[in-house]
Structure 1
Amino acid sequence: MPSLPSLIPPRWHALLPGLAVAGLVAATAQFLSEHYGAPAMLMAILLGIALHFLSEEGRTVEGVDFAAKGILRLGVALLGLRISAEMFLSLGPGLLALVIGGVALTIGFGLLVTRAFGQDRAFGFLTGGSVAICGASAALAIAAVLPRREGGERDLVFAVVGVTVLSTVAMILYPMLAGALGLDHRATGVFLGATIHDVAQVVGAGFSVSEETGEMATMVKLIRVTMLAPVVLMAALVLRARGEASASRPPLVPGFVIAFLVLAALNSLHLVPPWAHETAASLSRWALLTAIAAVGMKTSIPRLLQVGGAAISLLVAETLFLAALVLAGLMLL
């Protein structure tokens, strides 16, 4: 009878050490989040950065690289099961146009002003998409289709850390701002869901106001998550047309985007049982946490500091632009 190690393909023998370390970092980040209230994504990437040496040499290098790319795509694809056509219909045309317009205009704003902050268009797209759609998850998905370039992994870590920190600040400040402006529970939910970057912080901010606000904020946020697939798809098509990939053209449609859309369609048709929703949500969260930890391990602090104050200013400007745009739209509606 063959031994267990002999049944494992050689490829996985090389990947397992790095995957195990990334998974352990993800579990540690989740523990810190549950017991001390720290954002799990932020903890995962900070712990990963502290273990940067594991991505440079030794048996863990290949597995860490796979976690930062392959496991990432799995986590993003499974987000499709959180999306349904009913979400769009329940919001109404006016608010739906405001949410979708906020995503598109914020990405456009990032692309437009990025040169003024001394950054290239890829960086503007990365940060603008992170702010506009769904924070760290969007940063990971967008980075997966951008052509390889010097400082690309450094920029990704900066975007993840930056949007997570700003999202945490917004979770505290935005409910107070909505109250000061006299927004009702429904409008407050739309504002929080359309402007805060990460899903966890949207949920925290919304339900801190009321049950109605929390439900509305979560629904609006998931509609923003829906925009991830078309944005990444359009980016892949543009890059393919321009031939900007470093080694070869990107695929016409990235596989994880196809999976995202297929799962969203199945969910809209009510073909996914409740237990599958729960399983997919848990698996997606753990996959993204593991990918974030691996991305952190692939980045060094000295390279991260090279991003500079101008890049931080760009991220803050995109965040303020989205908040001002949504508030103006709510006032008009």
Structure 2
Amino acid sequence: MFSATQRGHTLNGILLVALFAIAAYSISQTSWVMALGLSPLIVGILLGAIYGNTLHQNIPVEWHAGISFSARKILRLAIILYGFSITFQEIVSIGWQGVVLAAIVVATILAVGFWIGTKVLKMEPETALLTSAGSGICGAAAVLALEPVTKAQSHQTAVAVATVVVFGTLAMFLYPVLDGMQLFALSDKAKGLYFGSTLHEVAQVVGAASELPEIAQEYAVIEKMTRVLMIVPVILIVGWFMARRVTASAGKQSSLVASIPWFAVGFLAVAGFNSLDLLAREWVVAIHQLDTFLLTMAMVALGMETQISKMKQVGSSAFILAAILFVLLMFGGYFLVKLLGV
């Protein structure tokens, strides 16, 4: 795609995606979009899908390589840089209960979601896994991170992100209402851990916890980022599992090294580097902003590759699964926090 004859067309495709990402980022900063807790990533895939299903035929075929590059290569770089969003010191600060809580929530939602999705709802494994990851780990970012290792198609990724939009937004508005009715009999720390361990997106955690005491807000965000860190073992396990499935069907031995998604290792290495506090804070903030833009580009590109007709083939099963996981997160997460005695 970067040969002498194709390079210009590929760069044009990347530039087109970047322009849409700029628009998505600008829209996400408007007051009403921020009130809905919609991140630039979600706005990006919506814009990309709208364009991809209306004017996509007007894009020169030669530009498609640039769109594909944005959806895959830029995505991997963005996931690596996502490590600058977290430090190991923050993880330690929430105590063992917070780490155990995050691990149980992620493992349970993924396992239960995959089983219900594939066995009960008869969903494609990729769609069930991505939908469960969006609910259990960190919303759209988790869907994006697992997309390369699951080899999911663009419409499967888009459906999984759509479930995050619907149920993540619902939770963001519902939790403060329930808290205002004093239905959460939890301490400030426990309430923060509950919000952080059961809401979908980081932005939705921030929005839902904004009315809580400051200490609860801090615990909510750190607990959420602890779930984000869980994405590393999940990617490694899923990558190995998918590689094993492919090699088993081909009658070959699977290679552990070959199945490792190295961008996940890069994410962990960057998080470790960020924990050393070697970069000035303003540099970390700038890298985080760049990373958000790169993730938005990847979302736009995936949206451009998504066809509504293929999304319809998935049907309502992904939303039924997401609804079940939403209820499980709300009630199961609450009782789990109580059980841990936070």
Fold match (TM-score > 0.5): yes
Correspondence 1:183-332 to 2 at 5 A: 183-243=186-246, 251-332=258-339
Verify the 8 A CA contact 2:105 2:136 in the aligned structure 1: yes
1:121-174 Cα shifts (integer Å, max 9, x gaps): 3322211111111110110111110135xxx22110011121122111111111
Verify the 8 A CA contact 2:189 2:215 in the aligned structure 1: yes
Moved over 6 A (4+): 245-250
Once the two structures are TM-superposed, the CA of residue 111 in structure 1 deviates from its matched residue by: 1.6
Once the two structures are TM-superposed, the CA of residue 292 in structure 1 deviates from its matched residue by: 0.6
1:11-58 Cα shifts (integer Å, max 9, x gaps): 542321111121111111222221243223332112111211437753
Query: Could you tell me how far apart the structure 2 residues matched to 1:321 and 1:109 are?
Result: 10
Structure 1 SS opposite 2:314: coil
Once the two structures are TM-superposed, the CA of residue 252 in structure 1 deviates from its matched residue by: 3.0
Correspondence 1:80-229 to 2 at 5 A: 80-114=83-117, 115-147=119-151, 152-178=153-179, 179-229=182-232
Query: Could you tell me how far apart the structure 2 residues matched to 1:275 and 1:10 are?
Result: 40
Verify the 8 A CA contact 2:131 2:318 in the aligned structure 1: no
- 2:41 aligns to what? 41
Query: Could you tell me how far apart the structure 1 residues matched to 2:113 and 2:247 are?
Result: 20
Once the two structures are TM-superposed, the CA of residue 227 in structure 1 deviates from its matched residue by: 0.6
- 2:56 aligns to what? 54
Verify the 8 A CA contact 1:229 1:257 in the aligned structure 2: yes
Matched AA of 1:189: G
Query: Could you tell me how far apart the structure 2 residues matched to 1:318 and 1:129 are?
Result: 10
Query: Could you tell me how far apart the structure 2 residues matched to 1:317 and 1:268 are?
Result: 36
Once the two structures are TM-superposed, the CA of residue 230 in structure 1 deviates from its matched residue by: 1.2
Query: Could you tell me how far apart the structure 2 residues matched to 1:295 and 1:156 are?
Result: 8
Once the two structures are TM-superposed, the CA of residue 245 in structure 1 deviates from its matched residue by: 10
How has the CA–CA distance of structure 1 residues 315 and 238 changed in structure 2, closer, same or farther, with 3 Å as cutoff? same
1:260-312 Cα shifts (integer Å, max 9, x gaps): 01111112233333233112211110011111111111012222122212221
Structure 2 SS opposite 1:271: coil
Verify the 8 A CA contact 1:41 1:164 in the aligned structure 2: no
Once the two structures are TM-superposed, the CA of residue 317 in structure 1 deviates from its matched residue by: 0.9
Verify the 8 A CA contact 1:17 1:59 in the aligned structure 2: no
Matched AA of 2:170: V
Structure 2 SS opposite 1:60: helix
Query: Could you tell me how far apart the structure 1 residues matched to 2:297 and 2:314 are?
Result: 24
- 1:24 aligns to what? 19
Once the two structures are TM-superposed, the CA of residue 254 in structure 1 deviates from its matched residue by: 1.7
User: What's the TM-score, normalizing by structure 1?
Assistant: 0.90
Query: Could you tell me how far apart the structure 2 residues matched to 1:244 and 1:304 are?
Result: 28
User: What's the TM-score, normalizing by structure 2?
Assistant: 0.87
**Considering only aligned residues, what root-mean-square deviation do their CA atoms show, in Å?**
2.4
Q: Count the aligned residue pairs.
A: 324
Verify the 8 A CA contact 2:160 2:318 in the aligned structure 1: no
Verify the 8 A CA contact 2:75 2:294 in the aligned structure 1: yes
How has the CA–CA distance of structure 1 residues 245 and 14 changed in structure 2, closer, same or farther, with 3 Å as cutoff? farther
- 1:5 aligns to what? none
Structure 2 SS opposite 1:306: helix
Structure 2 SS opposite 1:209: coil
Task: Among all aligned residue pairs of Structure 1 and Structure 2, give the percentage whose two residues are the same amino acid.
Answer: 30
- 1:4 aligns to what? none
Once the two structures are TM-superposed, the CA of residue 246 in structure 1 deviates from its matched residue by: 10
Which 10-residue stretch deviates more, 314-323 or 56-65? 56-65
Query: Could you tell me how far apart the structure 2 residues matched to 1:246 and 1:80 are?
Result: 34
User: What are structure 2's unaligned runs of at least 5 residues?
Assistant: none
Query: Could you tell me how far apart the structure 2 residues matched to 1:102 and 1:116 are?
Result: 21
